[in-house]
Amino acid sequence: MANALCWQAGLIFLAQAAHADCAAPEGDFQATICADPGLRAKAEAIWTTATETLAQNRNPWVALGLRRSIRHQLDAYGNAWDYAKAQPEDSGACDDEPSSCAETWFTKDWLAERLERLSSFAADPSNLALLREEMRFRRKFTGGPFGHDDANCGLLEPWVLERPYEDLHCAGTFRIQHHDRVCTAEVTWASGHYMTDLRVDQIVAGQPVLKGRCSILDQGGWGSEPFCPEMSIDAPQVGWTTAPDDFSDPLVARPDLDPMDPGETDVVAMAMLGPDGLPGGFAPPLTDWFQTCLTTPDYPPPDQVRE
């Protein structure tokens, strides 16, 4: 009964989201949408489409995952729009022609196209399939305050592509806790490429202790040493390290969340998980690794770990 009520509340929230934003718009991005009937209708259509898509689903965490994934993209568009409008002379935001950046790229047509893309995203059944797969897999384990996802999305800067502000990239950290073990797969975007890193922590006296981390060496030769033994074939420096990583997000407990709440999961980032050229998301070989990591008492194997 509780799950059903949570699911129904999620659908009501989706339907009301655009209206709530326009009740007190924050920044030029929201204000522009709310002031233009056509743009406002497109924004409301995103949540209407999401509600219709979720009518096929009864899992409250899947509903939250789709809503969060949509919100990450809206935030990415809004942050880029507001920054360009507020800092039109900043060459870091607008590259070659800073004085005309806001007028050239961030137009109502640009915004309308992105809102339409988000409606298509909300209607895509493959997104629900990925979210359902993650929740199906998570149900095998106990969950816990450290087992929640993080994600963020952004737009590619002008110096990355000939058509700036066209493509979206999302990075994410996917964590599962089982008793006192936390296993993490983190997908990051750097130098025009996605990379996946793996991490193992043991919870000791309520605090995470790093047992090992490694990077998946993909087909393009991207990754950072040491390379994960399970998924980096014929790679140099195969193994795990206990040396801290200054670039990864810290492992932080979220006791405010339900143990089974996946947190800020993101289906765009999830689709990029795993070795390049192999299925992304919660699918083999990544699920095989999570299963081994979460259920093997002494993992990673001590003979594969170096300082």
Per-residue pLDDT of 7-36, as tens digits, reads 444 444 444 444 446 888 888 889 999 999
Packing angle, helices 125-138 and 108-123, rounded to 10: 50
Q: Tokens 């999570």: give the residue.
A: 290
The pLDDT of residue 7 is 40
Backbone angles phi, psi at 233, to 5 degrees: -75, 135
Q: Is the predicted pLDDT of residue 126 greater than 70, yes or no?
A: yes
- DSSP assignments along 3-22, one per residue: HHHHHHHHHHHHHHHHHHHH
Q: Per-residue confidence at 69, pLDDT binned at 50, 70, 90?
A: very high
Of 93-97, 105-109, 149-153, where does mean pLDDT reach its minimum? Answer: 93-97
What's the sign of the alpha-carbon dihedral 259, 260, 261, 264?
Answer: positive
Distances, alpha carbon 305 to alpha carbons 64, 210, 227, 228, 275, in Å = 37, 11, 11, 11, 21
Q: Beta-carbon neighbour count of residue 205 at 10 Å?
A: 5
The structure tokens listed for 236 are 């140099």
Q: Could you tell me the two tokens for 160?
A: 């990355």
Q: Is 80 exposed, middle or buried (0-12, 13-18, 19+ CB in 10 A)?
A: buried
Residue ranges per domain, the chain?
A: 2-123, 150-306
CA distance 224 to 298: 24
Tell me how many degrees the CA angle 112-117-123 measures, rounded to the nearest 5: 130
Tokens encoding 60? 């409250």
Rounded distance between C-alpha atoms, residue 131 and residue 121, angstroms? 13
Higher pLDDT, 59 or 84: 59
Tally Cβ neighbours within 10 Å of residue 86: 12
pTM: 0.85
Contact 251, 201 (CB under 8 A): yes
At 142-190, the pLDDT tens digits run: 999 999 999 989 886 654 445 556 678 888 999 999 999 999 999 887 7
The number of residues making up the chain comes to 307
Tracing tokens 């009937």 back to the chain, one arrives at: 37
**pLDDT at residue 68, as a whole number:** 93
Q: Count H helices and E strands in the chain, helices first.
A: 10, 7
CB contact at 8 A, 215 and 227: yes
Rounded Cα gap, residues 72 and 170, in angstroms: 8
**Beta pairing class for 240-241 and 305-306:** parallel
